[in-house]
Structure 1
Amino acid sequence: MNAVKKAYRINVALSLSNVNADFLQLILCMMVSHYIIANPLYGAALFLFANIWTLYFEGNLRRLSSGAAPRKTNFVMWILLSASVFAGLALVFLYPIVMRAPGTNFVSFFVLLIAARSVLTWKVNDALSKPGLARRIYKGLFQILFFVPCLAFAWIIDDEPVMWMTLVGYALTGFLLSYQSSTMASLSKYIANTRRDKLHDIFSYRVFSNMSLYAQIALSLGVLMYICYVSFSTPAFSSDTYVYMGVWIVAVLLFSELFTKLVNRRGWILSLNIFIVGAAMWITGSLMMFDFKGLWGSTFWAGLWGFGLACITSVLNRYNGDFKMVARIAGRKVSDRDLHFRSMITQIISVIFSNAIMLCVVTVWVFVIPASHTPELPWVFRSTMVQLPVLFMLVSVFFALRQPLDERSRQKLLNYTQGTNNNTPTKQNLRSNLVEKKRVKFGVKILAFFVRPFLHLKVSGKEYMEMEHFPSVFVCNHGIIYGPIAAVIYLPTYFRPWIDRKMVDREMAAKEMYGRFIYRIPLLPPKAKMRIARLLAGPVTWALNSFNPIPVEKNNLRNVMTTFDDTVKVLSEGDNVLIFPERPRKVKRGDKMTVEHLTDSVGRLFTGFANIGRLYYETTGKCLRFYPIYASKRNHTFRIGQPVVFSPDNDPHDEKQRIADLLHDKMLELAE
């Protein structure tokens, strides 16, 4: 079984080699075009045109309308394909006449040679049935046969270094194409035989597909833009420039692959936050690479760009595998093969989209830039190079924020699929969150992303958390607002918090914030202070509601019982609950009495919350666990203590008091 999995991973890695080879073949075509007609962008545009249609027909993407892709995707694809046809006609027939460049025939021949080799290599790889060494020999002989016309083409190149670089580059890319598995033919058959996409109506997968598609378009566009920028930034032809670009491409791709393997081997957690951080690094690197001229500066920003790319691709690869579990919740059986080919389809579509967009842009540049007679690339073209990839990456980040399959939902999903919490309410809850279309409020994700770098808390006590005993209740100190923020960011599991009902309603939150601290703002009339409270209440309630909270009202018995009923229901569905039952102390501020929580200790706890243990036991027959937590602003720590377990044998009133007292004592110990 391990050998089969290893072989499958090797095939997946090899299946990407045709896309990796594309970048090297693009650089090769640009070098030839730069040498022959002094315009590298012409060779780039011709290669992009050929690559678009090669991938489209060899991948059998014309069959996507049968259900393998959304209608919107097909509509946009047809627009881009139509635009690419007009661009290709302009390049082949209009450019030689307008620009008076007869040498374009040689460039066209070389690009056609590369495109034909790609198509025939895929077909030969699929047709060869000889196993082992014999198969490799046949592939080698085929590449040697195709090397002959390239050898003849090289005789027209007078510059010896360029001639050898052309031959070596042609042989290297042929090697990459030759030793890839025949995945294009397999993908074509898969699309032809797929009557219905098993994942098309799963909301979390659709969000992931969009996130993956736009990220890969951005990554591909970013590479293409930078290659074109570097080639045109040196008007005088230099073969060394293309060598450096080829080395850079190989280094970036190898680094991304090695990073992914290292992460998988070490078992590091790859979350949506890592994706967003990677996107931020990639965007920063993209912006700065176009501005820095020095070697060390360019190397640094290129390194940051590459590390961001590695983070993005690693998260995408990891998340793709999780949808096998999500499909189970939806009542579908999805194999690794299905996920592999769905990922391939997204990748091929992203390459076609990015190539088509780049082709349209470069076709304009081909005609306009030489006519401008400027030694530098005009600002409008440089800004396009930066803005287009960044725009697509920002769209991808938007879908990442909408993704309901975050790390906490994944933990819950793992518990269900592994049988540690296999009950009907949990399945219904997961189905509602991950399968059905649901509005995802991502205020909590934005809050965690921006606040976490400023806290730097040391987390301890995670070893006390026993997932097989989940769901549980986490009891945390308040510390004004420090405790809730720290718990939201650092509690290493999924949960739903108790939040005061006043703070999840905008108008009530405005009055509460006004009565707590805004009234103390000096030199402003009461009406202005109330306006400030209403302005602040909007984002506060938006962020709090994104936690999917359990509203709490303390002064109405009927609403208190509703809170307990909702909490037991949430626990029965498999969600943990986070509460802050600390009693605030009354203090006098000026001529007004208000309440506040201790910042360096733990106040007495309300005891009513412990009734959850009895109600949950009556509903499920299971003994609930209460975990004490203390977040220390002074020591920069977030400590989780050993749980207190509900005992059904005790008197209900005594048990309630026992749980509250034990938790209070444990929280005081954690505070020391």
Structure 2
Amino acid sequence: MSGSKKSYRIQVALSLSNVNADFLQLILCMMVSHYMIGNPLYGGALFLFANIWILYFESGLRFLRRSRRPERAVEWPMWTLLSLSVFAGLALVFLYPGRMQVGRTNMVSFFVLLIAARSLLTWMVNRSLDRPGATQRIYKGLYQLLFFIPCAVFAWLIMDGFVRWMILCGTALTGFLLSFQGSTLVSLNKYLTHARQDKLRDIFSYRMFANMSLYAQVALSLGVLMYVCYVCFATPFFSARIYLQAAVWIVAVLLCSELFKRLATGRGWVLSINLFMAGAVCWIAGSLMMFRVHGLWNSTLWVGLLGFGLACITAVLDRYNGDFKLVARIAGRKVSDREMYFRSMITQVIAVIVSNAVMLCVVTVWVFVIPAAHEPRLPFVFRTFLLELPVVFMLASVGFALRQPLDERRRQKLFNFLRWNNRNKSAEQNLHDNLVGRRRVRFGVKILAFFVRPFLHLRVEGRENMDMAHFPSVFVCNHGIIYGPVAAVIYLPTYFRPWIDRKMVDRDLAAQEMYGRFLYRLPLLSARAKRGVARALARPVTWALNSFDPIPVEKNNLRNVMSTFNDTVCVLSEGDNVLIFPERPRRVRRGNKMTVEHRTDSVGTLFTGFANIGRMYYDKTGQALRFYPIYAGRRDHTLRIGEPVVFDPANDALEEKRRIAALLHDRMAALCAAGEAAGERSAAEQE
């Protein structure tokens, strides 16, 4: 395992050896409170209150005030939640027993105090023994046994035998998990005590990732808390089996998550922002439907979907965290694995504290506003708030993911630059401007790819033909009306900037083009209304196309064509590849009107002017440009990448551009023929 991956393991409040022990202890406190006073939320709220402050002081988050860190952006909201948690805790301890006239609350408070003190003592043992090992585990085991004795005495006072064994087994299990708990929080406390400067504080892409990770982890942790409290409170009568099922549900979600994560990494899935958004959608659907379905099979289905979403989210966060060591190099800084590890732990601890504080405030209102007597259905407003609050945090995380400039293609460009072209100052400045400096991120391409990919599934062949050591290059694709451009911009497995007609990236020109092409034919509308429709459609179309950061192309104007060539050479000099569609359309008659259209079943002749880019790039950089042929086959749903045509500076300029265009056409035709043959074989096999 690489150092970056080893140093960073997002646990999302579900690690069996750390935060998951807190979830199991929460269930244990709620069960005791439910049995003793008939209200599970009282014990759960007390544990959340204790856990918030224990975690806050154990991790040393109070030292964040000394340094300028991205997490300081959440310092005041976190302090507000901590202040509210203090009032909530005091209200529960002093007001709830008298106002609600509920007896035996002292026994519940005593049990919660034992559970919380055990966690604090485990941290103190870790802090006193610097080196983890057998001695530390023995000490922790002895202290766990010391706390197990009063818990066992408390359990012996319970008349229900099944509840008694649940308390004993739960106390023993959580104690076992705590005895194997590492000294992560102790190390984090020491790190925050001595750290004074954050090397990632002004990197825009990292700030977006930190917010994306924080809100996602808050949503995941809050979702589990909401589910446990909702299910346990909605039970009309006390049943220890409900709490056992809640614990099994947590373990099942964790196991499904680990299973899908191993499947994703084992099959080589691209851990991209699109996968993160897909995981968020699955998680939202699973978390909402868990409250609305009944039956074993339905519950298993939604647990699996929830686990799949969790796996996608955590896998993408795991992968992305290590990339910011490389982004820091672009900013001229060196960040160690240790720093990245503690950065991730800070985000995780803040997420757990925020989720617990939010849940504590909700539960406190729940306890005082809603009667302690259980109702099968909660008030509609409160039930809706419970269901949708974690979803709000997840949607906020998706919003930051859309604003993340370090997408899959820029990540590949970053890797390629650091490996091959680290002397290209223009490429370095371009990466710095896009990843380090604050800039407006157009995310239309991410939304387009997210919605189009499920309906336009293509295989990509010929990846081995791409030689990244000789990037940047020009990729030449067939047009096929609109199929070729859509397939190429979504599935081309590298970074690029496409040529797009200037008429389609300017809002006014796009509206005129749409009206002149097809909107003028709309029946039952006046010309003014049709132009209004064209302007309305032009806005989202130009927004989506401009998100590709295109190179505008204007045909039939020599001056503007040369401007396009100059822009293309500048883009290549900055290290970006270029995607073009130079296929010449054919003239066909449609009724009484002559029109132009591209071929859909073959490759038309290519314009030759684009090959001048090779000469211009060579004159500027002294490097021979490579042109890769691409064919997007509609019949067999395959994007094929052929062997490149290399610019030869020794040839005559006119002959060289003809040679490049002819070779590219022949190789694109060969790729087309290969697709047709594959389609025929597939059809024959189906017959």
| Alpha-carbon RMSD | 2.1
Q: Secondary structure at the match of 1:661?
A: helix
Amino acid at match of 1:42: Y
Asked if residue 57 in structure 1 is aligned to residue 50 in structure 2, the reply is no
Distance 1:579 1:286, change over 3 A: same
How far did 1:256 drift? 2.6
- Counterparts in 2 of 1:105-504, with a 5 A limit? 105-129=106-130, 132-264=133-265, 267-370=268-371, 374-420=375-421, 422-504=423-505
How far did 1:293 drift? 1.7
Contact 1:516 1:594 in 2 (8 A): no
Contact 1:49 1:359 in 2 (8 A): yes
Distance 1:274 1:524, change over 3 A: same
Which residue of structure 2 aligns with residue 623 of structure 1?
624
Asked if residue 35 in structure 1 is aligned to residue 35 in structure 2, the reply is yes
* Distance in 1 separating the partners of 2:521 and 2:609: 33
Which residue of structure 1 aligns with residue 544 of structure 2?
543
* Distance in 1 separating the partners of 2:170 and 2:411: 44
Q: Secondary structure at the match of 1:551?
A: strand
Amino acid at match of 1:150: C
How far did 1:90 drift? 1.0
Deviations 1:174-218 (A, max 9, x none): 221221221111111111211121111100000001100111111
TM-score w.r.t. the length of structure 1 is: 0.96
Q: Secondary structure at the match of 1:455?
A: coil
Distance 1:244 1:473, change over 3 A: same
Amino acid at match of 2:208: V
Q: Secondary structure at the match of 1:642?
A: coil
Percent identity over the alignment is 70
* Most deviating of 593-602 and 294-303: 593-602
How far did 1:649 drift? 1.1
How far did 1:86 drift? 1.0
Which residue of structure 1 aligns with residue 680 of structure 2?
none
Contact 1:421 1:468 in 2 (8 A): no
* Distance in 2 separating the partners of 1:8 and 1:144: 32
Distance 1:578 1:202, change over 3 A: same
* Distance in 2 separating the partners of 1:231 and 1:429: 54
Deviations 1:615-661 (A, max 9, x none): 11111111111111111223322211111111111101000001111
* Distance in 1 separating the partners of 2:353 and 2:7: 25
Q: Secondary structure at the match of 1:381?
A: helix
Contact 1:20 1:253 in 2 (8 A): no
How far did 1:3 drift? 10
Amino acid at match of 1:606: F
Distance 1:610 1:4, change over 3 A: closer
Contact 2:473 2:572 in 1 (8 A): yes
Which residue of structure 2 aligns with residue 533 of structure 1?
534
* Distance in 1 separating the partners of 2:181 and 2:539: 54
Deviations 1:93-149 (A, max 9, x none): 111011111211111111111111111101102212576433332222121122122
Amino acid at match of 1:60: G
* Distance in 1 separating the partners of 2:256 and 2:193: 35
How far did 1:307 drift? 1.1
Distance 1:199 1:612, change over 3 A: same
Which residue of structure 2 aligns with residue 18 of structure 1?
18
Amino acid at match of 1:661: A
Q: Secondary structure at the match of 1:43?
A: helix
Q: Secondary structure at the match of 2:33?
A: helix
* Distance in 1 separating the partners of 2:587 and 2:524: 26
How far did 1:368 drift? 2.7
Contact 1:421 1:574 in 2 (8 A): no
Deviations 1:494-523 (A, max 9, x none): 100011111110000111112222222234
Contact 2:330 2:432 in 1 (8 A): yes
Amino acid at match of 1:430: L
Deviations 1:510-563 (A, max 9, x none): 111122222222343322222221111111100110000011112332222221
Q: Secondary structure at the match of 1:638?
A: strand
Distance 1:140 1:382, change over 3 A: same
Distance 1:662 1:7, change over 3 A: closer
* Most deviating of 50-59 and 134-143: 134-143
* Most deviating of 532-541 and 378-387: 378-387
How far did 1:170 drift? 1.2
How far did 1:152 drift? 2.3
* Distance in 1 separating the partners of 2:6 and 2:444: 42
Q: Secondary structure at the match of 2:453?
A: helix
* Distance in 2 separating the partners of 1:586 and 1:29: 77
Amino acid at match of 1:55: L
Deviations 1:406-428 (A, max 9, x none): 11111111112223554211111
Deviations 1:40-99 (A, max 9, x none): 111111111111111111111112122234443111011111111111111101110111
How far did 1:249 drift? 1.1
* Distance in 1 separating the partners of 2:335 and 2:610: 43
Asked if residue 564 in structure 1 is aligned to residue 596 in structure 2, the reply is no
TM-score w.r.t. the length of structure 2 is: 0.94
Q: Secondary structure at the match of 1:499?
A: strand
Distance 1:231 1:311, change over 3 A: same
* Distance in 1 separating the partners of 2:445 and 2:401: 13
Asked if residue 574 in structure 1 is aligned to residue 578 in structure 2, the reply is no
Contact 1:157 1:163 in 2 (8 A): yes
Which residue of structure 1 aligns with residue 45 of structure 2?
45
How far did 1:595 drift? 2.4
Q: Secondary structure at the match of 1:180?
A: coil
How far did 1:251 drift? 2.5
Which residue of structure 2 aligns with residue 583 of structure 1?
584
How far did 1:591 drift? 5.2
Contact 2:13 2:221 in 1 (8 A): no
Contact 1:15 1:180 in 2 (8 A): no
Contact 1:11 1:181 in 2 (8 A): no
Amino acid at match of 2:428: K
Contact 2:126 2:132 in 1 (8 A): no
Contact 2:236 2:374 in 1 (8 A): no
* Distance in 1 separating the partners of 2:658 and 2:625: 15
Contact 1:327 1:334 in 2 (8 A): yes
Deviations 1:596-632 (A, max 9, x none): 2122222211111001111111111111111111112
Contact 2:5 2:319 in 1 (8 A): no
- List alignment gaps of at least 5 residues for structure 1: none
How far did 1:9 drift? 6.9
Distance 1:5 1:526, change over 3 A: closer
How far did 1:664 drift? 1.1
- List alignment gaps of at least 5 residues for structure 2: 674-687
Deviations 1:218-237 (A, max 9, x none): 11111001111111222211
Distance 1:73 1:313, change over 3 A: same
* Distance in 2 separating the partners of 1:397 and 1:12: 19
* Most deviating of 558-567 and 116-125: 558-567
